[in-house]
C-alpha cells in the first residue's frame, strides 16, 4: 500500500527532502525525556535548554548530523559502589534530536544549574528576486 503525501501536487517540485524531515520529526516526537524548552533570545537566535540534572559535561555529547542537532547523554555506571534505599532519580541514557533549517548554526553550548543550553543562530532571511534570461 502506498503512502499518501501532502507533497503530491504537481506544483510542489523538489520537496522530497522536506517530506523526509517531517518523517524524522514525527519519529522523535514521542519521547519526553529529558524535558526541554525552546526560547527566542533575540531577533535571530534560539536557545534550546534541556534538563540534565545528574549529568556531567563528560556524560553529554552534542553533534550535528546533516541537518539534525543530536544531543546524547549517558551517565557512567557507578551503581556497584552505592547501595540505594530508594532510587527515584532516573539515571538513563537519552538521545534528543532537533531538525535544523538550512543555515542554522550552533553558536554556543553551556551548562548552568542542571540545564544544558544550546544557542542557535538563525540565518537572516534574504529575498532574492532573479530574472532568468530566455535564449
Q: Where are the domains of the chain?
A: 34-121
Hey, what's the cell of 118? 544550546
- By the 8 A CB rule, do 59 and 75 touch? yes
The CATH classification of domain 34-121, taken from the options 3.40.50.2000, 3.40.50.2300, 3.90.1200.10, 2.60.40.790: 2.60.40.790
Would you write out the chain's pLDDT as a tens digit for each of its 135 residues? 455 566 667 776 776 667 776 776 666 666 778 999 999 998 889 999 999 988 999 999 999 998 889 999 998 776 667 888 887 776 788 999 998 988 889 999 999 999 999 999 987 767 778 888 888
Q: SS3 of 33, please?
A: coil
Amino acid at each position: 500500500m502506498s503512502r499518501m503525501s501532502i507533497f503530491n501536487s504537481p506544483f510542489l517540485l523538489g520537496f522530497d527532502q522536506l517530506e523526509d524531515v517531517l518523517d524524522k520529526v514525527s519519529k522523535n516526537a514521542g519521547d519526553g525525556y529529558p524535558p526541554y524548552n525552546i526560547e527566542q533570545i533575540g531577533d535571530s537566535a534560539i536557545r534550546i535548554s534541556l534538563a540534565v540534572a545528574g549529568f556531567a559535561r563528560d556524560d553529554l555529547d552534542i553533534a550535528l548530523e546533516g541537518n539534525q542537532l543530536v544531543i546524547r547523554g549517558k551517565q557512567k555506571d557507578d551503581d556497584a559502589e552505592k547501595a540505594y534505599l530508594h532510587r527515584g532519580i532516573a539515571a538513563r541514557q537519552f538521545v534528543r534530536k532537533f531538525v535544523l533549517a538550512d543555515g542554522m548554526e550552533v553558536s554556543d553550548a553551556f551548562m548552568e544549574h542542571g540545564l544544558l543550553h544550546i544557542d542557535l543562530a538563525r540565518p537572516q532571511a534574504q529575498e532574492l528576486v532573479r530574472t532568468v534570461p530566455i535564449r
